[in-house]
Chains A and B, each alone.
Chain A
Amino acid sequence: MTRQLALVDCNNFYVSCERVFRPDLQRTPLVVLSNNDGCVVSRSNEAKALGIKMGQPWFECRALAEAHGVLALSSNYALYADLSNRVMSILRDHAPRQEVYSIDECFVDLTGCADSKQRSQQLRKRVGQWTGIPVCVGIGPTKTLAKLANMVAKKHPRSKGVFDYNALTDAQKEKLLQQIEVGEVWGVGRKLRVRLADRGIHTVCDLRAAHTPTLRAEFGVVLEKTQRELQEIPCIDLQEVTPNNQQIISSRSFGHMIEQVAGLKAALSTFAANACAKLRTQQSCAALIQVFLHTNRFRPDLPQYMPALAMALPEPTNDTLLVSRCVSVLADQLFRPGYQYKKAGIVLSQITPVGQVQHDWLAPTQAHRPRLMQALDTLNARYGRNTVRVSAQDVGATWQMRQERKSPNYTTDWGAIPSV
């Protein structure tokens, strides 16, 4: 039996979330900006039509946007996460298997459903009614083809939001794949597209028909898998359980540029606290700590300096105090006066589950404070993030996120419930 994998993808997700509680914005051209109001991360169809690009820095398109009455909002992740959870839970209740692929995308396995297209229409209608979020569904025998089918569903109004690749004849499939540019395929990025074009592979159909051994020799096994998936041979499985992160990155652009080492340390120790809390939720420890600093690359008039430094620990840890101290040492080593820093971050890697930590029999046992950390997590969960913190964190300092245009947390904050 052919597999019926459906990719459910929310349309312009962040913008759609904002519109759920602001019906007056239904027809207003709208964009949502990333942290610190840096780049455009979500666009309404009207904003797309104006030529505003995904990921475009706001300062670049601001004049155009404001001239056309585009409203720009800061990202409100509490709201997006809540609506995303609602969408995902509706999908989970209506399909046997599910993989939440990102905040606005989800694979569901409809194999065995009598009429997967009708089922998808129902799902789409239900998500729309229960959450107000419009979604499109693409159905295919593999994840890669489901993703392509979803793109077709989005672009062609005639599909009414659902496109089933499995329902096509071989000739129709061929014709469709000839019309789609190879860069649209899941996992084929900009660079790869250029290299493929050099080999005469321009469309999805070309990639599907390419000589496999040559393809593998030149581009590696990952692209071979993609090709197999286009040939309807499943190579990428549904991941129903999210694997633990192998790397945890916590970083931010600063609202204002920072020149002092103390300011950097305040930000970095907050990142350390967040990353360690994340480690503890997934019950693991990290053995490698990396710190990086960035000056503002959009200001070529200023001197640029983007160093990074890593420190290996003798024993993996998830202790906020310890990591925070290491981060502070690294920051001292990296810091050079005379630069204006725009961004900093930490990367925790070499992550192992708590139960599998290899102790060092030469080094003295490190201070382990699981109960202290547990108390810290409990307090912060009950009274809000950063209620109890390392003094170096200095919350409320100048590096905090700039969110000048954020909507209220309508669904997650008792004081911010919308009035009617």
Chain B
Amino acid sequence: MMRERDTVQINSIITTMSDSLNPSDLAEPVPADAGWAPLALAPGSLWLEQCGWCVPAGFPSPAADHTRQRIDLNTALIRNQAATYLFRVKGDSMMGAGIYEGDTLLVDRSIDPQHNHIVLALLNNEFTVKRFYRRGGVVKLLAENSIYPPRLVREEDDFVVWGVVTYNLHKLC
């Protein structure tokens, strides 16, 4: 049943083609008063399927077997889409790590913070980006700029690592 319909559609495409001899017309819906069965042509899809391969008249493209998806930065830079968030940098405390004011950070919440990671932390309910130091029960937040001293995280501090910084997007031009 399905087969039969397909054939009819293909035939009517061919009819249109030989009538008009202008392939660009094919994308147009068939006018209702054309005089023959007004079969609805799904705009384009069947046509592409039948003829998509026949366009080059010379040698087949030597690259045809080697086509690949173009690199997608979303998948290349973001390991976990559901847990990654963007933040914009304010201030100069991380310049030593190549993080400048106005840069955009990718922050992944699903990564467990480890010593030496650059993290987005919440210290007493304020966001801050620093290098995470954790050795021998001591937790510190280190700036990458000598004018800012290390900040020791004390018992009484309200401290939580919001997420781990995975990439920095720095605009160059």
Give me the interface of A with B, judged by CB distance under 8 Å.
23-24, 26, 86, 89-90, 93, 126, 129-132, 365, 368, 370-371, 410-411, 417-420
A411 to B84: give the CA distance in the assembly, Å. Answer: 10
9 intermolecular pairs with C-beta atoms under 8 Å apart: A24-B126, A90-B82, A129-B83, A131-B82, A132-B162, A417-B87, A419-B89, A419-B90, A420-B88
Let me know if B126 and A23 touch, CB within 8 A. Answer: yes
Given A86-B82, A86-B83, A131-B83, A419 contacting B88 (CB threshold 8 A): yes
A411 touches B85 (CB 8 A): yes
- For chain B, residues 89 to 115, give those with C-beta under 8 angstroms from any C-beta of chain A: 89-90, 104-105, 109-110
Contacts of B81 in A (CB 8 A): 89
Give the complex CA separation of A86 and B80 in angstroms: 10
A353 to chain B, nearest CB (A): 13
Number of interface residues of B (CB under 8 A): 25
Complex Cα gap A159–B159 (Å): 26
* Complex CA distance for A420 and B86, rounded to whole angstroms: 10
Q: Which 5 A-B pairs have the closest CB atoms?
A: A130-B83, A420-B127, A419-B90, A86-B82, A417-B88
* Count of inter-chain pairs, beta carbons less than 8 A: 57
Asked if B127 and A130 sit within 8 Å, CB to CB, the answer is no
| A418–B105 CA distance with the chains assembled, in angstroms | 10
Q: Are B125 and A417 in contact, with the CB atoms below 8 A?
A: no
- A-contacting residues, B116-134, CB 8 Å: 120, 122, 125-129
**B29 CB to nearest chain A CB (Å):** 8
Report chain A residues within 8 Å CB of B80: 130
Given A23-B127, A26-B125, also A131-B104 (CB < 8 A): no
Assess the B87–A130 pair: CB atoms within 8 A: no
The answer to whether A131 touches B86 (Cβ under 8 A) is: no
Q: Which residues of B contact A26 (CB under 8 A)?
A: 125
> B57 within 8 Å of A by Cβ?
no
Instruction: Check if B82 sits within 8 Å of A130, measured CB to CB.
Output: yes
Q: Does B43 lie at the interface of the complex (its beta carbon under 8 Å from any beta carbon of A)?
A: yes
Q: Are A420 and B90 in contact (CB under 8 A)?
A: yes
A71–chain B nearest beta-carbon distance, Å: 14
Q: Which residues of A contact B109 (CB under 8 A)?
A: 129-132
- How far is the CB of A218 from the nearest CB of chain B, in Å? 47
Name the A residues within 8 Å of B82 (CB-CB). 86, 89-90, 93, 130-131
- In the bound assembly, the distance between CA atoms of A349 and B122 in angstroms comes to 49
User: Is B55 engaged at the interface, CB distance under 8 Å to the other chain?
Assistant: no
How near does chain B come to A91, taking the closest CB pair, in angstroms?
10
User: A23 — which chain B residues lie within 8 A by C-beta?
Assistant: 122, 125-127, 162
Knowing that A417-B104, A418-B87, A420-B89 touch, tell me 18 more A-B residue pairs with CB under 8 angstroms. Answer: A23-B126, A23-B127, A23-B162, A24-B126, A86-B82, A86-B83, A89-B82, A90-B82, A90-B83, A93-B82, A129-B109, A130-B83, A365-B32, A368-B29, A411-B85, A418-B88, A419-B87, A420-B128
Check B120–A130 contact: CB distance below 8 A.
no
- Please report which residues of chain B, range 65-91, place their CB below 8 angstroms from some CB of chain A when the two chains form the complex: 80-83, 85-90
Residues of A within 8 A of B86 (CB): 411, 417
Q: Contacts of A420 on B, CB cut-off 8 Å?
A: 87-90, 105, 120, 127-129
Q: How far is the CA of A370 from the CA of B40 in the complex (A)?
A: 13
Write the chain A residue with the least CB distance to B86: A417
Report chain A residues within 8 Å CB of B120: 420
B101 nearest in chain A by CB position: A419
Query: Which residues of chain A come closer than 8 Å to B85, judged between CB atoms?
Result: 410-411
Q: Which residues of A contact B89 (CB under 8 A)?
A: 419-420
Of the candidates A129, A365, A410, A419, which one forms a contact with B110 in the assembled complex, judged by CB atoms under 8 Å apart?
Answer: A129
A23 to B126, CA, bound (A): 7
Residues of the B chain whose Cβ atoms lie less than 8 Å from the Cβ of A129: 83, 109-110
